[in-house]
Amino acid sequence: MPADAITLGGADLADPDTYLAGMPYDAFRTLRREAPVAWHPQVDKPRFWALTGYDEIYAVSRDSETWSSQATGVFLDVPAPEDSYQLALMILTMDPPRHTALRALVSRGFTPRHVARLGARTADMARAIVDDALAHGQCEFVDEVAGALPSYVIAELLGIPLEDGRRLYTLTDIMNTRPLHDPELVAAQMQMFEYAAELAARKRSEPGDDIATALLHAEVDGRRLTDLEFNLFFLLLINAGGDTTRNLVAAGTLALIEHPDQWRRLAADPSLMPTAVEEMLRWTSPVTVFSRTATRDTDVGGIRLREGERVAMFYPSANRDEKHFADPDRFDIGRMPNPHLAFGGGGTHFCLGASLARVEAAAIFRELITRTREIGLVGPVERVRSVLMNGIRSMPVQFTPAVVPA
């Protein structure tokens, strides 16, 4: 049998400690070259096939008939039997046709009309957030800037007070960084579900023009969502809507700090903002990995996989694939074309909030490049200990304001 992914790449891709020093790009590069479909062992956990090539990840993402999200979930850890029922009710871990019906329902909150309406509010909120940061001269960027905006935008989407969005952001941070069954994680989950139950009761009696109302009052397959289904939808919206954008803005800012020539380039030509955001998405890959389970015997990248075997799609590796990106280890805010897979490889589970995340990121960076001459680190960058999310936990920065013409 060929060498496994850990032996070949020199990194355990299923160990959260691997990511504390940054994404293991050297391991990914070796695996793409030697074995883009590589067997990955785990101790006391089910093994999987690590997919590190763009083409392999793209193909699996677009074939929901062969590759199930529901069979064993989309996370590297296979759910325990007692957790399987709840996971089956989450849109992230559903397969068509149920997934298709529920996705259509949720997508009502992300129509061009809703996103356009949020655009103006997002710009105002971004301005206020940067106002506050500049007034202090320095800040903890992840919490006070990168995490603040998505928490406010999600609050707007759900029709809840902005301060509640910040509170929920704190709870999701606990849920994403504590071990399974940790008392703090369990307590945070309980608070989230209690809030969801209160919100559901309020929106049923007092409907609004928001996604929470849409979820509660619409029918799917002839029935409305149960309380548990709504709770899980609520959890996913808060989690996915906040984490992805926070990770993008924090890591995108770090990329600009580390590449001052690109900062100056963007400041000199703000029309580059759309391609800059796409390059930040490629460069940062806010989500590291999702998995799928084979529903039948099939081939991936010339390797025969059996029904029931699992694959793990490592998006940061796909986004540095030399076959699809010229000079992939160069950060280039003008890069075109840029067919990154930061929001997944397309298909049924393509990120619903992709357009909104782009709007949020552009709003923050527009404020930063016009109102600051420079952003510098004033302390160590601490990364999130996670296999799932490619994020920064702490990044203290200092601002040098732009010179305003008299």
pLDDT at 80 over 80: no
What is the tally of structural domains in the chain? 1
Query: Residue 91: what pLDDT?
Result: 67
Under the banding of pLDDT at 50, 70 and 90, the label for residue 165 is very high
DSSP conformation letters of 103-144: HHHHGGGGSHHHHHHHHHHHHHHHHHHHHHHHHHSEEEHIII
What average pLDDT score do residues 113-136 get?
Answer: 90
How far is residue 114's CA from residue 389's CA, in Å, rounded to a whole number?
27
Query: Residue 243: what pLDDT?
Result: 85
Q: What is the DSSP letter of 326?
A: S
Strands 219-220 and 223-224: antiparallel
Domain assignment of residue 406, yes or no: no
Query: Residue 81: what pLDDT?
Result: 59
60, 74 Cβ separation under 8 angstroms:
no
What CATH number does the domain containing 298 carry?
1.10.630.10
pLDDT, averaged across the chain:
90
Query: Residue 87: what pLDDT?
Result: 60
Cα–Cα distances in angstroms (integers) from residue 323 to residues 32, 56, 318, in the given order? 10, 12, 10
Q: Which residue has the higher pLDDT, 28 or 87?
A: 28
For the stretch 218-257, pLDDT in tens is 887 788 888 888 888 888 888 877 888 999 999 999 999 9
Query: Residue 66: what pLDDT?
Result: 97
Among all chains, which residue has been given the structure tokens 């999701």? 172
Q: What is the DSSP letter of 71?
A: S
For the stretch 31-52, pLDDT in tens is 999 999 999 999 888 899 999 9
What average pLDDT score do residues 90-97 get?
Answer: 74
How far is residue 391's CA from residue 249's CA, in Å, rounded to a whole number?
10
Residue 357 CB-density burial (10 A; 0-12 exposed, 13-18 middle, 19+ buried): buried
300, 59 Cβ separation under 8 angstroms:
yes
| CB burial readout 278-303, b (16+ within 10 A) else e | bbbbbbbbbbbbbbbbbbeebebbeb
Among all chains, which residue has been given the structure tokens 């690590």? 50
Domain assignment of residue 19, yes or no: yes
Report residue 226 as tokens: 């149960």
Report residue 310 as tokens: 């699992």
Strands 48-51 and 310-314: parallel
Query: Residue 2: what pLDDT?
Result: 67
Residue 301's domain comprises 5-401
Report residue 288 as tokens: 């590291």
Report residue 90 as tokens: 């989450």
Cα–Cα distances in angstroms (integers) from residue 301 to residues 2, 41, 203, in the given order? 15, 19, 48
Cα–Cα distances in angstroms (integers) from residue 229 to residues 164, 295, 321, 361, in the given order? 21, 25, 38, 30
Q: What is the DSSP letter of 329?
A: T
What average pLDDT score do residues 121-150 get?
Answer: 96
Query: Residue 86: what pLDDT?
Result: 60
Q: What is the 3-state composition of the chain as percent helix, strand, coil, each rounded to the nearest 5?
A: 55, 15, 35
pTM here? 0.93
Query: Residue 406: what pLDDT?
Result: 45
Residues with Cβ < 8 Å from 182, sequence gap 6 or more?
Answer: none
For the stretch 290-345, pLDDT in tens is 999 999 999 999 999 999 999 999 999 999 999 999 999 999 999 999 999 999 88
